[in-house]
Amino acid sequence: MIEFQLDTASGVATYLQLVQQVRQALQLGILEPGDQLPTAQQVVAKLAINPNTVLKAYRDLEREGLVRPRPGQGTFVVGTLPRSDPAMQERFADGLICIFQLYILAG
């Protein structure tokens, strides 16, 4: 399952950051059709953001044909995006590792 991270200094709207992270995860093969996204409640609890922000991001992804909600079950990946090149995947993975290490150190 994807773990969302926010960059409050980026100037990018929160919901767009969520959409971009799902799209990147699809391009890198981290998410595949059938995978479940975190519930809005889980994202709100982890990131301390408004539930409507999460729902807006998920609706945008649904309009793009990338996810589909299943009532009572959650939101699931149904679409794919072209894979990115391996060098880009490696840079992204290295970046994620750094983020997770900082997150762990921060406690």
The third-level CATH classification (topology) of the domain covering 14-106 is Arc Repressor Mutant, subunit A (1.10.10)
Are 4 and 48 a contacting pair, CB within 8 Å? no
pLDDT in tens, 49-73: 999 999 999 999 999 999 999 999 9
Domains of the chain, residue spans = 14-106
Find, among 16, 2, 17, 21, the residue nearest to 76 by Cα. Answer: 2
How many CB atoms sit inside 10 A of residue 55's CB?
Answer: 16
Q: How far is CA 76 from CA 24, 47, 79, in A?
A: 16, 20, 9
Q: How far is CA 50 from CA 18, 56, 61, 62, in A?
A: 13, 10, 18, 19
pLDDT in tens, 5-43: 999 999 999 999 999 999 999 988 899 999 999 999 999
